[in-house]
Amino acid sequence: MAYELPKEMQEKLKEVVGHYPDPMSAILPGLHMVMEHRGWVDGEACDHVAEVINVPPIHVYEAMTFYTYFPRKPVGKYNLQFCHNIACHLRGAQDLIAYLDEKHGIREGEVTVDGLFSLTKVECLGACGNAPMMLVRDKYHEDLTVEKLDELIENWKKEAGNGHK
């Protein structure tokens, strides 16, 4: 069955359309709803958003492919979007990314067997002054060290174990 947002989210998205003179303005809110619901976006999801807000699907595809924020295949519950751009690179991002693989088995392009973690390397997220950093579930984690990574991962494992969504 083709992907669809839950009915209540579809209704909310239709409401968003009404806030703007042009329904195209609801494309990003629609893609964010897919992220909130499923955590990743593909062509089926784009078609669905296009249908709900009544715009040509190509415009939704264009938005999806422009932003690295939208993963295009399944990711872990905690997708570590790790900046590897210049400031983060100079402050050790590559070493931390290697550490995540060695210590925690979290590596780029893969989802851990428990479904909790995945890693995507991304370009500058505008927090260079606190490099190295990563974005996880809409929250920035900055001035990262191996100790901070260990703590964050342990906390997320506990959170997931408590049935937190």
Could you list the residues that contact ligand FES (CB under 6 A)? 83, 85-88, 124-128, 131, 133
Task: Pinpoint the alpha helices (H) of the chain.
Answer: 7-17, 27-38, 43-53, 57-66, 86-90, 93-104, 146-161
- How many degrees, rounded to 5, is the angle at CA 159 between CA 73 and CA 155? 95
Which C-beta is closer to ligand FES: that of 33 or that of 127? Answer: 127
Which C-beta is closer to ligand FES: that of 49 or that of 88? Answer: 88
In the complex, least distance from residue 9 CB atom to ligand FES, rounded to whole angstroms: 31
In the complex, least distance from residue 136 CB atom to ligand FES, rounded to whole angstroms: 14
Which C-beta is closer to ligand FES: that of 25 or that of 85? Answer: 85
* Residue showing tokens 């900046």: 83
In the complex, least distance from residue 135 CB atom to ligand FES, rounded to whole angstroms: 9
* CA distances to 45, 55, 165 from 37, in Å: 11, 21, 11
Which C-beta is closer to ligand FES: that of 25 or that of 130? Answer: 130
In the complex, least distance from residue 80 CB atom to ligand FES, rounded to whole angstroms: 13
**58 vs 157: CA distance, rounded Å:** 38
- The answer to whether the beta carbons of residues 83 and 123 sit under 8 Å apart is yes
